[in-house]
Amino acid sequence: MRIVTPAPVSQGFAVVREPGADHPDLDAAKVSLGVLGVVSQVTLQLQPMFKRSVTFLERDDSDLAAQAYGFTNDGSSFTGYPVVGYQHRIQASGSCIDAKDNLLRSSCPWDPRVRSLFFYNTGFSVALSKAPALVADMQRLRDLNPRALCSLDAKMGVLIRYVGASSAYLGKTEDSVNFDFTYYRSYTQGRPRAHSDVIDELEQMALRKYGAVPQWGKNRNFAFDGAIAKYAKSGEFLKVKERYDPDGVFSSEWSDRVLGIDGSPNIVHKSCAIEGLCICSHDSHCAPEQGYYCRPGKVYAEARCLSVVVPFFLASSAPPPPPAPPPYRRAPEVAPATAASTPTPPLPRLCQCLSVVRALLPRLQRTAAASRAAAIPPRTRSSSSYRGVHTHPSGVHYVEISSDDTRLRLGTFKTTHETIRAYDAAAWRLRRPRAQMNFSDARTRQQAQHLAPPPWLVTEEDHRIQRRRECRLLIAEADEHAMVVWRERFPEDFATKNEF
């Protein structure tokens, strides 16, 4: 390896160092985070070419935790994404970046001009001996909310890779399993990620409970807090750093915090947990104005997660309306108290009861107002009962909304309450007036969006697929009807199991 490090004026401001395979500084330069100098050349040790046969097998992953060791010797390796070209014009397939004549028609997903990558991922490495227990806890958390790990498509969620031990000072000290959590992330600053409570718990569970080390380039601030202490030879790395760059030319405030030299990478302020700058310890670190509060984990109770807290009147499918007030009646005349009447309660107890009623009265009034606001509107909105809501003969509800002559399908739901909430969430996004919503008195956009999936554009291909499905259903129904008729006319065929 050839690395250029700073030097005093007497040495020409720079020194070229070439640590060889047996040089002790090579273990520091292998994973240097850029704080030692500029790596200008790397010599790799290659293996002779050989042939390999790969067979793809599909199997159930219910025993994934028990098979954690078994996958380490499956003979497969990751060879995708070959890097071609200069770093500022990197490409991994095709010639999409170099095709300048057709503008954006052949742009790559990572092209900064189109901003098409809308996901983010964080990575951790767990010792192989602890990986089965972590996978078991992840499966328990998944069972509580299966939708949380299906945020993008069938290939995303949790990616697992195996990494061998390294002699690098900041490398893996033992054989490990890499876990990549991939999830949707909005470009809008201050907007929480989808299913943030599950992702937060997974990250903190890996870091704190199982002693995982964060991937140096795929994490947020809080993950690096105390991470340098997990490397047994971090002190040796800092000694090499002091010799190579004593003035800190290649260091920064951020690198000093990550390496534990000066301060912590955590930045605590309002809403810091949304961007991963801290682990919440107070509701103000989340976004209470958007319905997100700091709550403990569901499987790993010591975790502190950015969780959506849905009010009771929103969580229930059909909250009952407040009881109607009793009809007005004249109060009966009360006879004057006599000696045989019930004695009057003591004055201190009476004052205490009045104070309790006075304290609870505002809360009861708010609860009653919230119940009235959350009641399902009368079924007089449209021919389908509610705005944008359609009911399939099977009993499943689906919802869609129109925007500029384009139909946006919002998904299917089991209950009417979820369906009309999804329509209102889309109406909020399209800036529709409240009069065009099912719940015109929804207090915030977040309350209307807590059950809403992202819109789905209905294309002509979707219509063709739907027509083919309906055609198959009609054929199947006709076959079933013919089978019933045949059974009634020729029962002996079914008794002898003759072919229909």
- pLDDT for 438-476, tens place per residue? 776 555 555 555 545 555 555 677 778 877 887 888 887
Q: Which residues pair with 397 in a beta bridge?
A: 391, 413
35 close to 241: Cβ distance less than 8 angstroms: yes
Tell me whether residue 466 is in a domain: yes
What is the C-alpha to C-alpha distance for residues 491 and 380, in angstroms, rounded to an integer? 50
Whether 479 is covered by a domain: the verdict is yes
Segment 395-416 shows an average pLDDT of 74
Confidence at residue 113, expressed as pLDDT on a 0 to 100 scale: 65
431-439 long-range contacts (CB < 8 A, ≥24 apart) are: 436/387, 437/387, 438/377, 438/381, 438/386, 438/387, 438/389, 439/373, 439/374, 439/377
> Does residue 37 register a pLDDT over 60?
yes
- Listed residue (303, 307, 302) closest to 290, CA to CA: 307
In this model, does residue 245 exceed pLDDT 50? yes
**Could you read off the pLDDT of 41-80 as tens digits, one per residue?**
998 888 888 777 777 777 776 766 666 555 555 555 544 4
Contacts of 311 (CB under 8 A, 6+ apart): 370, 447
Among the ranges given (44-58, 102-116, 124-138, 474-488), the one the predictor scored with the smallest mean pLDDT? 102-116
Contact predicate 3/36, CB 8 Å: yes
Confidence of residue 3 (pLDDT cuts 50, 70, 90): very high
Euclidean distance between CA atoms 170 and 173, whole angstroms: 8
Q: Residue 362: pLDDT band by 50, 70, 90 thresholds?
A: low
Q: What is the pLDDT confidence band of residue 130, given thresholds at 50, 70 and 90?
A: very high
**Selected residue with higher pLDDT from 412 and 63:** 412
Report whether pLDDT(310) > 80. no
Phi and psi at 201, nearest 5°, equal: -65, -40
Rounded CA gap, 11 and 241, in Å? 18
Count CB neighbours of 369 within 10 A: 13
> What pLDDT sits at residue 296?
92
- Is the distance from CB of 65 to CB of 135 less than 8 angstroms? yes
Give me the number of domains the chain comprises.
1
Compute the average pLDDT of residues 423-432. 76
Say what the pLDDT of residue 372 is.
44
- Give the Cα separation of 166 and 228 in Å (integer): 16
Nearest to 207 by CA among 296, 127, 149: 127
**Does residue 137 have a pLDDT over 80?**
yes
pLDDT score at 475: 82
Q: Is residue 473 part of a domain?
A: yes
Specify the amino acid at residue 317: S
pLDDT at 460: 72
**Checking DSSP bridges between strand 292-296 and strand 304-308, what pairing results, if any?**
antiparallel
CA atoms within a 13 Å half-sphere pointing along the CA-CB vector of 260: 13
Q: 104 — phi, psi (to 5°)?
A: -95, 5
Q: Greater confidence, 97 or 410? A: 410
Q: Which residues pair with 399 in a beta bridge?
A: 389, 411
The pLDDT value given to residue 79: 47
Residue 40 has pLDDT above 70, yes or no: yes
Burial class (CB in 10 A: 0-12, 13-18, 19+), 403: middle
pLDDT at 263: 87
Residue 494 host element (H or E)? helix 491-495
The residues, ordered by sequence, that sit 6+ positions from 19 with a Cβ below 8 Å of its Cβ are: 1, 3, 25, 26, 29
Residue scoring higher pLDDT (151 or 26): 26
**Which of 263, 270, 123 has its CA nearest to residue 203?**
123
Taking all residues of the chain, what is their mean pLDDT, rounded to a whole number?
74
Q: Is 195 in contact with 252 (CB distance < 8 Å)? A: no
Q: 493 versus 358: which is more confidently predicted?
A: 493
35 pLDDT more than 90: yes
How does pLDDT run across 175-225, given as a tens digit for each residue? 999 998 887 777 778 888 878 898 899 999 999 999 999 999 889 999 999
- Mean of pLDDT values over 271-282: 91
**First-to-last CA distance in the chain?**
75
Of 103-112, 430-439, 463-472, which gets the smallest average pLDDT? 103-112
| Lowest-confidence region among 76-85, 151-160, 219-228 | 76-85
Helix axes 131-144, 196-204, angle to 10 degrees: 160
Helix, strand, coil shares, percent, the chain, to 5:
35, 15, 50
Let me know if residue 250 belongs to a domain.
no
Does some domain include residue 390?
Answer: no
User: Is residue 61 situated within a structural domain?
Assistant: no
More confident residue, 53 or 30: 30
Alpha carbon 3 to its chain centroid, in Å, reads 40
Residue 432 has pLDDT above 90, yes or no: no
Give me the domain span that covers residue 486. Answer: 460-495
In a domain, 489, yes or no: yes
Let me know if residue 471 belongs to a domain.
yes
The CA distance from 91 to 329, in Å, is 82
pLDDT confidence of residue 423: 80
Predicted local distance difference test score (pLDDT) of residue 342: 44
- 475 is written with which tokens? 């054929």
DSSP label at 10?
A: G
Percent of the chain with pLDDT over 70: 65
In the three-class reduction of DSSP (H, G, I as helix; E, B as strand; rest coil), residue 488 is classed as helix
Question: Is 317:450 a contact under the CB 8 Å cutoff?
Answer: no
Q: What is the pLDDT of residue 403?
A: 72
Element (H, E) at 14: strand 14-17
Contacts 24+ apart (CB under 8 A), 248-252: 249/6, 250/6, 250/34, 250/35, 250/36, 250/37, 250/38, 251/35
Q: How confident is the model at residue 325 (pLDDT cuts 50, 70, 90)?
A: very low
**Residue 358's pLDDT band (cuts 50, 70, 90):** low
pLDDT band at 495 (very low <50, low <70, confident <90, very high): low
Is the Cβ–Cβ distance between 213 and 125 less than 8 Å? yes
